[in-house]
Each structure stands twice: as C-alpha cells, then as structure tokens.
Chains A and B, each alone.
Chain A
C-alpha cells in the first residue's frame, strides 16, 4: 500500500522546535499522526555537580516562558533536601507569585495564541489570523488580554523583584518580604483583572454555545488525568498531593505524596521522538496515557477552592462530569485565571502576608528532594539527588509537555482524521491540526530560542521518500 506523509514544520505559536507528520494511506485517509519533538533535553546533565542551592537560579533558565514554575518547583525540591518546613509567609508569597504566573501565562495563551483562531476563524487569512490582526479587528478584546497579562507580570515583579528569572525563592523560603505598599498596589489592580477574566469567560462561553458541534468534538478522546489536589480533593496549584483519575472521572490513585511519583509513573521511549512518554504504571503503556494541565486538573479535582471559580466549574461540568474535548483546555484555563485572582486576593488580605519571617537556614540534611507544582501547562516535577556536601549528583525534571506527549499525539490523530484530506491541503485544515496542539500550549524551549525560526513547510511524501507536494509559509529569519 502506498503511503503519503504530510509534514507541518514547525508548529507555529508554540515555543521551541517541533513538527507534525500526518501519515496517509493510499486512499488519502489519515493512517497515523505524530507530534515530533526533535530537540534533545540536556539540561539535567548540565545541573550535575552544581550546589543544590544554585538550582532555583539555574533551572528557570530552561525556559523564558514559565521560569516562575521552575523556580518554585526547584525551591520546593531544595526545601525537601533542607528537611525543614519553610515559614508560612514564605509559602504564601511563593503561592502568590505562582498565581501571577498562572494569570499571565493563561492570559497569553487565550488572548494571544488561541483567540485569533477562535475570533477571526480557523479559515481566516493567516496574514491576519494573529494578535495584530485581532487588535485591528477587535481592539478592545486584545487590549484586555494585554492588560490581564500585564497584571500577572506586575504581580510577579512586585513579589519577586523581576518578571523573568526572579532571584526570590530560595531553599528554606524566600529572600524578599512584601511591603504593605506593594501589597496595596497589587490589590488595587485586582478589580480590573477580575473584569477582564469574566469578560474572557463570557466570550468563550458564547463561542462554545455558537459552535457547539465543533468544539464538543474537537480532538475529543478518552484519557486518564493527573493533577494536584488538597486533602478534600479541591484543586491545588502550589502544594497538595497527586490524584490520578480515569476517563470517567473515577479515581485511580488519590493523595499520592509528590515524593512518591516514581512509584506511580513510568516512562516509555519511541524511536521517532526525543521526548519520553510517561504513563500510569498500574494501567500499562499506552493505556496509562494521561493528560495534565488545566483540563486535566478540572477533571481530576472535586471542586475549586474559591467560590467564583467553583461556580464556573459547575457550568463547565454542566454537560458531563469529565470533559474530553481538547477545546475545554481553553475554557479551563480561564476558570483557573479566575481562581488565580481569587486566591491572590485571599493571600493578599491575610495579615501575615507582609511578615518578615520568611527564611529558615538551608543546610542540606537529606540526600534527595522532590518538588512538585502545577505549572500553567501542567504538573511540573523537579527531583534532585545530592552528595553529603549538597552537590547535585543527578537531576530529573518532568515538564507538563512531557506528560502530555501521548495525549497530544492522540489529539492530532483525532483532528487529522476529521479535517485533513490528502488531495486538498487547505490552510484552515492544517491550522486545525496546529490548533489542537495549541490547546495544550506546549513549551519546548529547552532549546535556544534561535531554533524554530524556519519556514512552515508541508510536505507530501510517499513511502519511497519522494516528495509529492510541498507547501511553505515564509517567515522571518
């Protein structure tokens, strides 16, 4: 049987370098689809030999997009090596900074990456289907997105001192207290941010209502889910224990201490990708495929821990207890923005938030430490092994994009089977394939940012390796 391959390289509007190949059979039907990650992660080796107290400064450089998440997960792993509880105010300040990260990252994802597709249409001219096109056609929406993201960024800056790679969270606590003036400045910006978040939610719910058939079926497939929860099952983003549930929402494992993750997660390797493919050990590979991130968290949790977000969760779950369509990632993201704002307000209104008791001594007392946090894109695990002097002997980092690897492949397959026809390569079809990847908002920026600035290329290749057709969208080099 003759097989054709359509290659989309690179995926636009995601970070790093990746490509999608869609394998067609002789009838022009989609046979298989894969999301390839071609960059090799060498960061863990790079960390070996460094003193563990340096890790919160080194590991955020993995990524310019979610450095706060790496900073916090790393600091938590280091806390475990120190072996002492950090002061309550330090924990609150870290969580506050994390809420800023959730807000700004989700705002970027929704308003700037996904909204052009949703509001200008998948089939709109690519020249205008971007943030500038959105500003020109719907300036009020784009400006709200900029403002909401800026609120999150400013929160991070006020709490940590810098927007990117803040020198703030250290083993044993944090090194900077929050002043009352800084607290009040953040609080002052909250009402506007709530307004933008609610606006975005209304916008998305309106889109959902108007495109019900497409969104309910958009890269919809069954999977397992993983996320952090509080002791009563409420959603948790900074701390808590792991919960795994299946496609029906039935709990597979609950209240798993993050330090025990290796007892529950295994990793498979495929020859066509440098990324590993994590799965739930008890369910085997590939049946144990699970998703992480906003959709997974909302599927896994029993409730949201703040009132406005919890009310929105009930709307989100109105049709089914568990949502399988990848479109629901966008919606879940906005509910988490609301949660982030509410939680930030709770933290800021605590009288302890401006306490100066923020750090304990950070001498190593243990040879191993695990730090887990719910990053915007999903569960982020930092695991360090150190020698008696505190030098890193081995590091293991599992990022959200890694957890979602299998799920993204399934999503691409689902969408490709529906929209891609070999003899009619239309931009809108290809964009839908990309759009499903953007639902996961993957971040692959372990690579230098110089990589990935290549033209978008679509190739049709037969089994003999002959290129039958090439489409290319030029870009800046």
Chain B
C-alpha cells in the first residue's frame, strides 16, 4: 500500500558546475519525472540554516549528496540522526547538523536518510561521469522503494 499520508521531502544538493558534485540534482530531476505522491523535491547548492525550518514540516527527509572519490562504496545509505558538530562550517551544514538544528529550534525530528553517491570527477563541467549516473539511477530506484514501503 502506498503511504500517501507520510509527507516526504527529498533534497538533492551540490554544485552542478562541478560534474559529479551535481549528482543530487540529477536524482531530483529523475524523481520529478515520476511525479511521486506525497513527495516534495528540492535542490540546492548546499544545506543551510533555513533547511532546518524546511525539514520541520515533513515526516521523512531523504538527502542525496555526492561523496568524495575516496569513499569505499559507490552508494552509501545511512539513517541520519540529530548530531551537531562543533566544528561544522555554518556556511555549509551536514544533514545531521540540520536535523539537530530542527530539533532544537522547532522540536521536530523527522526520520531521515542520506544517500551518498561516490563521485569520480569534480572538475568544472555539467555532465556526470557514466559510473556516477548509473549509481544515481540505482539511488532513484531505492528512493522509490522507500516511498512505496515507508521503510528507511
């Protein structure tokens, strides 16, 4: 049964001008074509302070980001819990930072998962490497399954 009643936000973020760093945007574009019910999609260059307010309005949040080439797996899927890091760059925030800020400011703690897709090329350019595009399509499938089953 589809869980239409669960409000889900999917955020793909990164720099589209840095090839594989824009993989989060690619995933969002693919998902937009599927017109998933109960799902809102958002893209951005990075997570920010205001992201805390945005996610506070949802039950489930799915983050999609690029990972550094040294990451051990092509796709990593982590459940995220609030955890503000003292050293965090406030211009740039991690999903755990955003969840922590959301909990502290709005007393809301949506369920969250982060998909990290290992990038290969972060040089200037607007296309993904084939390997990363393939991984992105796999992430789209996994996200659709999350929406369908409601299981992170």
Contacts and interface: CB of A to CB of B under 8 A. Distances in A.
Contact of A476 (B13, B85, B124): B85
Contacts of B89: 12-15, 452
Contacts of B122: 448, 450-451
A132 to B, nearest CB: 4
Contacts of B110: none
A31 B85 CA distance: 32
Contact of A131 (B21, B45, B46, B90): B90
Interface stretch (A122-130, A248-256, A302-310): A122-130
Contacts of B17: 43, 46, 58, 61
A127 B88 CA distance: 10
Interface of B is mostly: loop
How many chain A residues sit at the interface, stated as a range, is 35 or more
A43 to B, nearest CB: 7
Nearest to B15: A448
Contacts of A12: 87-89
A65 interface: yes
A17 to B, nearest CB: 10
Contact of B50 (A46, A130, A149): A149
B14 A128 contact: no
Nearest to A444: B91
Given A164-B44, A448-B14, A448-B66, A153 B87 contact: no
Interface string A149-170: 1100100000000011100000
B38 to A, nearest CB: 24
B21 A108 contact: no
B129 interface: no
B91 A445 contact: yes
Given A129-B86, A132-B104, A150 B50 contact: yes
Contacts of B53: 146, 150
Given A12-B89, A108-B49, A450 B105 contact: no
CB-CB nearest 8 A-B residue pairs: A64-B45, A15-B91, A46-B124, A126-B86, A132-B84, A12-B87, A448-B21, A61-B17
6 contacts: A64-B92, A142-B105, A149-B50, A448-B122, A450-B68, A476-B96
Given A58-B17, A64-B48, A64-B92, 11 more contacts: A14-B89, A43-B17, A64-B91, A67-B45, A108-B90, A131-B49, A150-B53, A448-B66, A449-B13, A450-B67, A473-B86
